[in-house]
Amino acid sequence: MNISVPRRVTKATAVAALAALALAGLTGTTASANPAAAAAAPDIPLANVKQHLTDLQSIATANGGNRAHGRTGYKASIDFVKAKLDAAGYTTTVQQFTSGGSTGYNLIADWPGGDPNQVLMAGSHLDSVSSGPGINDNGSGSAAVLETALAVARSGYQPTKHLRFGWWGAEELGLVGSKYYVAQLPTAERAKLSGYLNFDMIGSPNPGYFVYDDDPTIETTFKNYFAGLGVPTEIETEGDGRSDHASFKNVGVPVGGLFTGASRVKSSAQVQKWGGTATAFDRCYHSSCDTTSNINDTALDRNSDAIAHAIWTLSAGTTTPPPGKVFENTADVSVPDNGAAVTSTVNVTGVTGNAPSNLAVGVDIVHTYRGDLVVDLVAPDGSVYSLSNRSGGSADNIVQTFTVNASSEVANGAWKLRVQDKASVDTGYISGFKLTFP
Ligand SMILES: [Zn+2]
């Protein structure tokens, strides 16, 4: 398999190629069979997501300015989302629970079909705090998950896995709804959950691009998507354990998700990376000003598309793998500006004899000026193979598979991807390094 993602390609093509990369993705130095390529996700229309936010704002306005647990605005939000899903062909269930003396509601929507023993789930909390309409927190995640679910229906997508979506109540009171859902789910049903993806605040007005550092395959899927857009990501630390994914993680379900920042202040380094200002990611966090004006459209658009990409990629399954052995390291290694060379290592084991004459070297480097970079493959005995020597000028990123004649090298051992930044100003990191033995 030769996956090349040149800079000027259509988004759909790049996403399809990256989807295949992501499917092969495993953290650390690991080996796996090559899975089949996944169908590409459709673009999620930003206008549709924003219309859902406008509707949630109207619900809050008509119900005392909020959509909080135990208030009329919350139940109206549940009814609004449920009606859209019912009309699209989903099987929906409203689950009731009690918290603080008030009835709470979770909404669960199953897309008919797929392997009932492999369930991929995505969710978001639908409640706001009582002090505001909660449009970024968490109308944003709720609207994007809703529109992704509707896109599944519009496209007639038939994934290998079974798809389920959830909207949680009373998250703001301590993850109450999602904890209740998980507690009610029989152990055998929990074991069928192959992953839970959580989206809580994905349109922050002064956004960062944060990926949860949890299940490696889910994390890699999101990181590859943003790398394909040329948008750098960071590991999410502000909200860790503070949203509904924790309820699933606590019972052993692989989890992941996206986040654009809450009340924490954006650092100057993050301003340089993402733009915006060195103020809170969301100055209206848990406030009355968390309205439809409190949304960054670009962040909402990118994150909505990333959700669809992950749903499509992770639900495709891994049927009919072609022969081949993949060794990959997806740990990020930062490349110092105009500094020393850094390396990412994969340990190849269990391959007899020498490496092939067509060794596929998958390189995923996120960088804002690829012409700064000298990139080499270093064999276990120290032999150096040049992959890219300050080529490509001012273009971003090196996301490419190189073919190397490595037939004079013993296959087993520690192979390194060596990257050195030889000029000032632009920076980046090694996002992934992969060797494929035919
Ligand atoms: Zn939230």
**Per-residue pLDDT tens digits for 278-320:** 999 999 999 999 999 999 999 999 999 999 999 999 998 443 3
- Under the banding of pLDDT at 50, 70 and 90, the label for residue 34 is very low
| Ligand 1 center–CA 171 separation, angstroms | 7
User: Is the pTM higher than 0.85?
Assistant: no
pLDDT at 396: 86
Cβ contact 109:90 at 8 Å: yes
Q: How far is the CA of 281 from the centre of ligand 1 (A)?
A: 14
Annotated active-site positions, please?
A: 171
- Cβ 167 vs Cβ 92: under 8 Å: no
Residue 432: name the closest of 131, 250, 288, 217 by CA.
217
Centre of ligand 1 from the C-alpha of residue 239, in Å: 9
**Which pLDDT score is estimated for 17?**
38
* Contact residues for 281 (Cβ-Cβ < 8 A; gap 6+): 204, 205, 206, 207, 208, 238, 260, 261, 262, 263, 264, 265, 266
Tens digits of residue pLDDT in 43-72? 999 999 999 999 999 999 999 999 999 999
Rounded Cα distance between 283 and 296, Å, is 12
Q: Separation of 157 CA from ligand 1 center, angstroms?
A: 29
Q: What is the pLDDT of residue 438?
A: 82
Read off the pLDDT of residues 226-254 as tens digits, 9 standing for 90 and up. 999 999 999 998 877 789 999 999 999 99
The pLDDT of residue 328 is 86
User: Please, what is the average pLDDT of the chain?
Assistant: 89
Omega of the bond leading into 347 within 30 degrees of 0 (cis): no
Cα(334) to centroid of ligand 1, in Å? 30
- Distance between Cα 90 and ligand 1 center (Å): 25
The residues near 9 (Cβ < 8 Å, ≥ 6 apart) are none
Residue 116: CB partners within 8 Å, gap ≥ 6? 162, 192
Residue 19 has pLDDT above 50, yes or no: no
Model confidence over 90-124: pLDDT tens digits?
999 999 999 999 999 999 999 999 999 999 999 99
How far away, in angstroms, is 43 Cα from ligand 1 center?
25
Would you say 33 and 326 are in contact if contact means Cβ atoms under 8 Å apart? yes
Question: What's the pLDDT tens digit per position in 117-157?
Answer: 999 999 999 999 999 999 999 999 999 999 999 999 999 89
**pLDDT for position 35:** 38
Sorted by where each begins, the domain ranges of the chain are 4-316, 325-437
pLDDT in tens, 353-384: 899 998 999 998 989 999 999 999 999 999 99
- Name the residue among 77, 85, 41 with its Cα closest to residue 57: 77
Q: Tokens at residue 108, please?
A: 């669960």
pLDDT at 38: 53
Residues 6+ apart with CB under 8 A from 79: none
Is the predicted pLDDT of residue 11 greater than 80, yes or no?
A: no
Q: Which whole number is the average pLDDT over 327-333? A: 87
pLDDT at 321 over 50: no
Question: Average pLDDT for residues 267-284, to the nearest whole number?
Answer: 98
Residue ranges near ligand 1 (ion) with Cβ within 5 Å: 137-138, 200
pLDDT at 5: 28
Q: Tokens at residue 244, please? A: 């509904």
**Domain 4-316 classified CATH 3.40.630.10?**
yes
Phi, psi of 53, rounded to the nearest 5 degrees: -65, -40
Report the DSSP beta bridge partners of residue 122: 165, 197
State residue 305's pLDDT score: 97
Residue 29 has pLDDT above 70, yes or no: no
Q: Residue 45 class from Cβ within 10 Å (0-12 exposed, 13-18 middle, 19+ buried)?
A: middle
pLDDT of residue 323: 53
Centre of ligand 1 from the C-alpha of residue 143, in Å: 13
* Residue from 333, 334, 336, 399 nearest 370 by CA: 399
What's the rounded mean pLDDT across residues 264-270? 98
Whether 4-316 shares its CATH topology with 325-437 is answered no
* The predicted structure's pLDDT at residue 23: 38
Residue range 325-437 forms a domain whose CATH class is mainly beta
CA of 301 to the centre of ligand 1 (A): 18
* More confidently predicted of 207 and 241: 207
User: 343 - beta bridge partners?
Assistant: 418
- Of the candidates 233, 289, 288, the residue with the CA atom closest to the CA atom of residue 261: 233
Cα–Cα distance for residue pair 75/167, rounded to 1 Å: 12
* pLDDT tens-digit map of 164-198: 999 999 999 999 999 999 999 999 999 999 999 99
**Rounded mean pLDDT, 26-45:** 56
- 413 falls in which pLDDT band (50, 70, 90)? very high
